[in-house]
């Protein structure tokens, strides 16, 4: 979570929804007195204080793509993982997250569950991050309109994730649709069966 009092906005996001990039960009010198450091605190915290008049927004991601990203992350887990995440292929990972439960919340908690109880004024989509930041997040849009200098908007290296449909079979797609059904009900991803149709 990041709260900016100078420009009156608050941001939060589930794991693997560009949270590191967004925390870095939203704490650039023209917006903040110091750059965000992951050691400063939990960037996935959702306990946003009641800030009257502040603009709240969250980041979200296509759940199918996010599952692949979580799997890749799990297979290079660092020493903070105790016990380590087992080495497995993607279909095994889909089964594993369903069994892991809250004990492995980073991997198994869906975006809708992560954001439950969080009020937001806008959702920014990882797939359209630059557009959504500049058009949906009112404090950022205002700064851009008046010509305030801001660093280039994040351009994420998602090239390796564009092949995410190749990881899915009909069974794994159905499992994700069922396990994270509420994620597909989030505004940007409400066309859940259209997304499923991308899987060959």
CATH number at residue 90: 3.40.50
CA distance 147 to 149: 6
DSSP reduced 3-state for 81: coil
The pLDDT assigned to 1 comes to 85
**What backbone torsions phi and psi does residue 124 show, to the nearest 5 degrees?**
-105, 135
Residue 60 in contact with residue 111, Cβ under 8 Å? yes
The phi-psi region of residue 146 (left if phi > 0; otherwise alpha if psi is between -120 and 50; otherwise beta) is: alpha
In sequence order, what are the residues at sequence separation of 6 or more whose Cβ sits closer than 8 angstroms to the Cβ of residue 161?
Answer: 65, 68, 69
Q: Compute the half-sphere exposure of residue 105: CA atoms within 13 Å on the CB side of its CA.
A: 9
Q: What is the pTM of this model?
A: 0.88
Q: Compute the half-sphere exposure of residue 134: CA atoms within 13 Å on the CB side of its CA.
A: 15
The pLDDT assigned to 49 comes to 77
The pLDDT assigned to 46 comes to 80
The pLDDT assigned to 159 comes to 46
Chunked into runs of 10 residues, the chain (200 residues) has average pLDDT values of: 91 93 91 80 78 93 93 78 84 92 87 91 90 93 90 65 82 92 82 64
Residue 75 in contact with residue 85, Cβ under 8 Å? yes
The pLDDT assigned to 185 comes to 84
Q: Which domain holds residue 45?
A: 2-196
* Total of domains in the chain: 1
């Amino acid at each position: 979570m990041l709260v900016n009092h100078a420009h009156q906005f608050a941001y939060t996001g589930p794991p693997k929804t560009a949270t590191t990039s967004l925390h870095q960009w939203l704490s650039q010198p023209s917006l903040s007195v110091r750059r965000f450091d992951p050691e400063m605190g939990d960037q996935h915290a959702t306990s946003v204080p009641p800030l009257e008049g502040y603009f709240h927004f969250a980041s979200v991601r296509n759940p199918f793509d996010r599952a692949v990203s979580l799997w890749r992350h799990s297979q290079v887990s660092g020493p903070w993982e105790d016990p380590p995440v087992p080495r497995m292929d993607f279909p095994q990972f889909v089964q594993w997250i369903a069994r892991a439960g809250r004990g492995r919340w980073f991997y198994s908690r869906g975006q809708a569950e992560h954001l439950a109880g969080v009020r937001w004024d806008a959702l920014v989509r990882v797939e359209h991050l630059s557009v959504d930041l500049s058009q949906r997040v009112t404090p950022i849009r205002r700064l851009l309109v008046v010509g305030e200098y801001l660093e280039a908007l994040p351009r994420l290296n998602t090239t390796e994730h564009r092949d995410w449909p190749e990881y899915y079979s009909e069974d794994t797609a159905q499992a994700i649709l069922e396990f994270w059904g509420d994620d597909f009900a989030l505004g940007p991803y409400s066309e859940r069966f259209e997304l499923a149709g991308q899987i060959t």
